[in-house]
Amino acid sequence: MPVIYFVLALAVLVLFGAPLFSIIGTISLLGFSSQGIDTAAIIVEMYRLASQPVLLAIPLFTVSGYFLAESKAPQRIVALAQALIGWMPGGLAIVVLASCAVFTAFTGGSGITIVALGGLVFPILIAEKYSEKFVLGLVTTSGSLGLLFPPSLPIILYGTVAEVSIDQLFRAGIVPGILLVTVLAIYSVRQGIASKIERHPFDAKKLWTAFKNVIWEIPLPFFIIGGIYGGYFTATEAAAVTAFYVFIVEVFVYRDLKLTTDVPRVMKESMVLVGAILMILAMAMGLTSFLIDQQIPQKLFELIRQVVESKIVFLMILNVFLLVIGMMMEIFSAIVVVPLIVPIAKQYGVDPIHLGIIFLANLEIAYLMPPVGMNLFMSSFRFKKTIGQVTAATLPFIIVLLIGLFIITYIPQLSLWLVK
Amino acid sequence: MKLLLFVDRWLTRITGWLIIFFLSVMIVMAFGQVVLRNFFHTSIEWGDVFLRHLVLWLGFLGAVIATGEGRHLKIEFINKLAPERYRKVIYIATNLFAAIVCFFLMKAAVAFVQMEGESGDTLILNLSTTYFIIIIPVGYAIIAFRFLVRSVAWAAEIIKGDWHIEEQH
């Protein structure tokens, strides 16, 4: 059975770190050739990307995120959140959750939040006498929080591959996203009260100063969410406005980025990520058309149906599968399973939009999954703790998030509420 | 070997310049389109198609840099656990593999571009589609080249007895 050797060989290559796009490319190349189809078909499929308007949103949102990450926006956001909600019990922890969520929505995850924001809030939390274990867990968890909020890149990628409207996905993610932040916030407040953290009085003057400092960045989430939600513009138009606006504000208003040195460097950095993503996305398009051509999702569905009858059990298995995939691959690569799961889930009566939210919520948590979730490594590296320490600290947060995931999975109305 | 590395360095430099230029054009033009559409109820007719092809170009250029810096998306945790000595061998093998795949993708892309070229279609402004999609085969060719250069460079280092590997991103 040569197919088995082939699968084994590819599995070894994946595990030893061959670029994922080359693996998917191999499958498509051999798949198409074995059917006697010219491999140019792969490129034809890839070129279909150029006919999707939302393609333009990918580099524009990515570069906006990088501009923000490299500016002093993280400090300003934290200062504002601190003045706004820092007075509550466990308030500072909520500050971290909220700022990280906003920040990750703009930067699309991939560990950048832990480096940029985590390092910033870690010492503040410790100074407030939160236990080190709690702080470590909180910061690690916050690193991927916010992937469900617009304009997060993973949402756009899911929509592109699954051929679902990005605007609708953006709306669908808001309530489940708030839910995940809320469950963590409740847990943090409980911890804050339990460990008798000293509370600061509310200071209107401080709030005003913080607000004035961040005044130019405040409109961003509003005109993205408001603009899309109100139907004023599409996700792609929002990306165009955001990129231009962020550039002007960070370079000419705040002057955090120097036009001649920082800007070219950040531009190149951001396009490296876009390039890596596009390589995967391009190959995923080819693979999708091959899988559908061969009716592989249909065949898989029939196989699974013999064991799994109910939608409830299917969703349970899907969650476990996505958590494992997400833990090993991180979010941009995990997009390759989308063409497989969308048609299968449809057969079980799962709405593709709801599926998208399940998919993203799973990957958000998968970042933290022991033993090899990426945030554990990022955090261990950034805060100089062993993987074991980070894992132990993050475990309670994972459990809280899994409760949230359970609710998101089994109450589709949460995701579909703002869409319909 | 020296020549290969020299070419490789210049590829990086030129790619970087192109990225900065194209991305600047993209940011300004995409914003311009939104302003034209919403305030003047008009737009540059060929603008959107042009911009989407610019994404293809930027993506491939970004991927060229990603190749040189070992920053393609991949599963990394096993390599992180492997001792340095094995790691270099693993990197050579996986990069060679990627080079071969990119070579075949380049061939597929050449066939695609020829198909489009023969159809004689023009995309926008009476320009042949070929100009806009030529980056696909060229991109894969450069990426294949860079994967190869990296493998060869590491192999050469091993022959000299140098097993040390610079930390990958």
Greater pLDDT, B17 or A287: B17
Q: Tokens 């949103």 identify what position?
A: A57
Under 8 Å between Cβ of A164 and A352: yes
Give percent of chain B with pLDDT exceeding 70: 96
ipTM: 0.91
Residue (of A244, A348, A343) closest to A299 by Cα position: A343
Give the pLDDT band of residue B26 (cuts 50, 70, 90). Answer: very high
Q: Say if residue A259 is exposed, middle or buried (CB neighbours under 10 Å; 0-12, 13-18, 19+).
A: exposed
Residue A201 DSSP class: P
Q: Which pair of tokens denotes residue A106?
A: 């703009």
Query: Looking at beta carbons, which residues of chain B come within 8 Å of A29?
Result: 101, 104-105, 108
User: Partners of A301 in the beta sheet?
Assistant: none
CA distance B106 to chain A (A): 9
Cα separation, B77 vs A373, whole angstroms: 9
Under 8 Å between Cβ of A98 and A196: no
How high is the pLDDT of residue A1? Answer: 59
Q: What is the mean pLDDT of chain A?
A: 86
Query: Looking at beta carbons, which residues of chain B come within 8 Å of A247?
Result: 27
Pick A19's closest partner by Cβ from B26, B72, B111: B72
Indicate whether A109 pLDDT > 70.
Answer: no
CA A393 to chain centre: 22
Query: Looking at beta carbons, which residues of chain B come within 8 Å of A50?
Result: 49, 52-53, 55-56
CB contact under 8 A, A58 and B55: yes
Residue (of A149, A153, A62) closest to A99 by Cα position: A149
Tens of pLDDT, residues B40-56: 888 888 888 899 999 99
User: Three-state SS string across chain B, please?
Assistant: CHHHHHHHHHHHHHHHHHHHHHHHHHHHHHHHHHHHHHHHCCCCCCHHHHHHHHHHHHHHHHHHHHHHCCCCCCCCHHHHHCCHHHHHHHHHHHHHHHHHHHHHHHHHHHHHHHHHHHHCCECCCCCEHHHHHCHHHHHHHHHHHHHHHHHHHHHHHHHCCCCCCCCCC
Query: Looking at beta carbons, which residues of chain A come within 8 Å of B129?
Result: none
Residue A135, H or E segment: helix A132-142
> What integer is the mean pLDDT of A131-150?
89
Which residue stretches of A258-310 are H helix? 262-293, 296-307
Q: Within an 8 Å CB–CB cutoff, is residue B107 touching chain A?
A: yes
Indicate whether B169 pLDDT > 50.
Answer: no
Residue (of A9, A39, A38, A339) closest to A161 by Cα position: A339
Distances (CA, A) of B76 to A129, A173, A373: 36, 29, 11
The three-point CA angle A6-B64-A338 to 5° equals 50
How high is the pLDDT of residue A360? Answer: 93
Pick A20's closest partner by Cβ from B74, B77, B104: B74
Please, what's the b/e burial string for A202-217 (b: 16 or more CB within 10 A of its CB; e: otherwise)? eeeebbeebeebbebb
Query: Looking at beta carbons, which residues of chain B come within 8 Å of A268?
Result: 16, 19-20, 65
- pTM equals 0.85
CA distance B161 to chain A (A): 23
Q: Which pair of tokens denotes residue A354?
A: 């709801």
The three-point CA angle A355-A356-A360 to 5° equals 115
